[in-house]
A and B are shown apart, each in its own frame.
Chain A
Amino acid sequence: MTVHLGAATAAPDTRSAYAIEASDLVKTYGDVKALDGFGFAVPAGTVFGLLGPNGAGKSTTIKILTTLTEATSGAATVAGYDVRRQPDAVRRAIGVVTQRHGTDPQATGRENLLLAGRIHGLRGRTVKARADELLGRFGLTDAAGRVVRTYSGGMQRRLDVAMGLMHRPDVLFLDEPTTGLDPEARAEMWAEIARMAGDEGMTVLLTTHYLEEADHLADHLVIVDRGRLVAEGTPEQLKSGLHGDAVVVELAAESDLAAARKAIDAVAGTTETVVEGRSLRARVDHGATAVPAVLTALESVGAPVAAITVARPSLDDVYLRHTGRTFAAAEEGEDR
């Protein structure tokens, strides 16, 4: 017997190796363009990082992909479903952990998980077993019967993530999952995220404004700035696109910045010199050999040096390269 599926059934639009495909997303709020033609594709089963300073458009992107709001223009599919035309199917396929808390503070940890599971159609013993499993995995078993209001920030965050996992989603959205966590809790969360993608074959879209987090977790990442994609690739690809090392010189208080900059530019092999406060940052082919030359050049113009460091390329350098600002400067500059 053949069963014909009518057009009304929520079959995925396309079969694709990509768990998320977004193209040309534009979102305007009044005169403000939060997204300005942003697009990317996330291979299924990977951890994909969306990196950018606050206000770059990361959260707006998440809101569109999780069907919370609609893009002004552009298209996106999640788990094969069109976010605009098949929002219900998208909602069944995704888990969402937003920057804020999705948990009810007046309910216990277990009640929160049970509600999340039941909304997704889990019933009876299945939902209870799944809740207990996640409570155990996130170290919340002892606190399961307490109302969430009494949880610490880290516990609430772990419960938020557990909520998003109750129904074993195909795609998990994590919007700034480690913001506000202490270093230890952050390391634990990182381990858990890595495990989710590894063991469960889940696709994870993660936004972060921590460079080291993207570097550590993401298989692929895109850097977004002012609502546009500025770079994409694996963290290694992005870093290897930069030649050599970064040399950062901290000048003594009495040094003449302009003269020092000119001196560094004159050293053979230095490029992309930028001034930031009392520091100069330059890209060199080879850090170890460049340091003596830089020091000599600065000495010759009478610019005393307080400190000098050499660093392998980081995503911070990638960001600087593509946007012309350091990440820290971008963070302070705008807060959408």
Chain B
Amino acid sequence: MSTATLVPHTGYLTGRLLRATMRQPAFVVITLVQPMIWLLLFGQLFKRVVEIPGFTGGSYIDFLTPGVVVMTVLFSSGWAGMAYIEDMDRGVMDMMLSSPVSRGAMMASSTVNQAVSTTVQSVVIVLVGLAAGASYDGGLPGMLVMLLAAVLLAGAFSALSNGMALLVRTREALIGFSTMLTLPLSFLSSAMMDKSTAPDWIQTVAAYNPVDWAVVASRQALSADPDWSMVWIRLAGLAAVALVTGWIATRAFRSYQKSL
């Protein structure tokens, strides 16, 4: 597969996805409103968990904002494969695969598309958080780190979702897979609760959970005095996971074609 076509093809295919999104204003509104609801709802519901002994940090809305950013990314990139399934059902996928389109670009465009919506969603969440009283001591660098973590996580999970779509090929199976993966992964992280209040085994699992890496890196970077070594190692881990899942998912095109 030619690497010379990877970049231009990623551009063309991303353009296609973004145009399609912009033609569905209702979908755009929902993707922006949903994280606001989470932030405000959970922010109210769990307001007093900070009083639990062992809970570190100040106000819950400060704690929650990076958690909601990461959960939003996780849930929306988990659905990325739906676009593949639509393409398969219609015949677009077969047309693409018998054309010289770069397979890597088919995967990368989905990730870039997710990254764009992740960025917009994150900005909205940050602003809503601000209005709800969150303070971001880490300032702009902290926010950029959070954005980077969110984009890397989006890359990993959109690739995973696309790869699964190529293997299972039905909406139902992909919905099942996505739900089965994203819900536990977000609850096995510190997205909503401080890990120190959770049982030991959850703390152990969370240490290996890329969702938790994204949350911890973001929260650290947004704190008044970030421990940057904690941030970088997690970002590096996320980048590695995104690359590996992207590579594996691109391999899934072969298995899809074998079964045709």
Contact = CB atoms under 8 A, between A and B. Distances in A.
Interface of A: 63, 66-70, 88, 91-92, 94, 96, 98-107, 111, 115-116, 118-121, 147, 163
A100 B90 contact: yes
Q: Tell me whether chain B's interface is mostly helix, strand or loop, or mixed.
A: helix
A115 B98 contact: no
B91 A100 contact: yes
B91 A68 contact: no
A70 B258 contact: yes
Contacts of A98: 91, 94-95
11 contacts: A67-B97, A69-B260, A70-B257, A99-B91, A100-B90, A100-B91, A100-B94, A103-B90, A115-B16, A116-B99, A118-B12
Contacts of A119: 9, 12, 99-101
Contacts of B16: 104, 107, 111, 115
Interface string B17-34: 001100110000000000
A41 B146 CA distance: 59
B1 A88 contact: yes
B230 interface: no
Contacts, number: 73
Nearest to B23: A106
Contacts of B98: 66-68, 91, 94, 96
Most A CB contacts (10 A, CB to CB) among B13, B99, B260 go to B99
B12 A68 contact: no
B149 to A, nearest CB: 30
Given A98-B94, A100-B90, A104-B20, A92 B100 contact: yes
> Range of interface residues on chain B?
20 to 34
A278 to B, nearest CB: 41
- Per CB-CB distance, the 8 closest pairs between chain A and chain B, nearest first, are A100-B91, A102-B95, A106-B20, A66-B98, A69-B260, A91-B100, A96-B98, A68-B98
B8 interface: yes
Contacts of A88: 1-2, 100
Given A98-B94, A119-B101, A147-B23, 11 more contacts: A63-B94, A68-B97, A69-B260, A70-B257, A92-B100, A103-B90, A106-B19, A107-B20, A115-B13, A120-B99, A121-B100
A256 to B, nearest CB: 50
Contacts of B19: 106-107, 111
A116 B100 CA distance: 10
A100 to B, nearest CB: 3
Nearest to A108: B19
A100 B87 CA distance: 11
Q: Which of B92, B98, B258 has the most CB of A within 10 A?
A: B98
Nearest to A147: B23
A271 to B, nearest CB: 43
Contacts of A69: 257-258, 260
A316 to B, nearest CB: 30
Contacts of A96: 95, 98-99
Contacts of B87: 104
Interface string B38-62: 0000000000000000000000000
Contacts of A103: 90, 92
Contact of B99 (A91, A107, A111, A147): A91
Interface string B67-92: 00000000000000000000100111
Interface string B234-260: 000000000000000000000001101
Contacts of B94: 63, 68, 98, 100, 102
B260 A102 contact: no
Contacts of A100: 90-91, 94
B95 A163 contact: yes
Nearest to B21: A106
Contacts of A99: 91
Nearest to A67: B98
Given A98-B91, A98-B95, A63 B20 contact: no
A103 B9 CA distance: 17
Contact of B91 (A63, A102, A118): A102
Nearest to A92: B100
A102 B92 contact: yes
A104 B17 CA distance: 10
Interface in B1-16: 1-2, 8-9, 12-13, 16
Nearest to A105: B90
A121 B5 CA distance: 9
A107 B87 CA distance: 13
Contacts of B12: 115, 118-119
Contacts of A102: 91-92, 94-95
Q: Of residues A63, A99, A104, which shows the largest number of chain B Cβ atoms within 10 Å of its Cβ?
A: A104
B100 A101 contact: no
Contacts of B20: 104, 106-107
Contacts of A106: 19-20, 23-24
A66 B12 CA distance: 22
